[in-house]
Amino acid sequence: MADGESGHAVVARVTTALRAIAAENFGTVVALVGHVASLTAGLSALCGIGEDIWGRPLPHAVPFRVHTDGLVWRSEWPC
């Protein structure tokens, strides 16, 4: 869209939000609901998944785990 966010802006916004959520809830389990595209982009950046997920975005309404110790992020990518 002409007035939409760039991909870089989406990744920055989502990674900032996920880092804040993780920091505020360290040591607990958090359920997070969001849009497939933004979560795919943000988690790809945080977990270092990179190009491995191209063509394999997150499925709709399928729960999965993301783990972080505050520094390292990893995901049990459900696709």
Q: What is the pLDDT of residue 40?
A: 87
Q: Which residue has the higher pLDDT, 57 or 21?
A: 21
Sequence-distant (6+) residues with CB within 8 A of 35 are none
Q: What is the pLDDT of residue 1?
A: 62
* Rounded distance between C-alpha atoms, residue 43 and residue 32, angstroms: 12
* Rounded distance between C-alpha atoms, residue 73 and residue 5, angstroms: 24
Question: Tens digit of pLDDT for each residue in 6-52?
Answer: 989 999 999 999 999 999 999 899 998 888 888 888 988 999 887 77
Q: Global pTM?
A: 0.84
Q: What is the pLDDT of residue 10?
A: 93
* Rounded distance between C-alpha atoms, residue 44 and residue 64, angstroms: 14
Question: Tens digit of pLDDT for each residue in 63-79?
Answer: 888 999 989 999 887 76
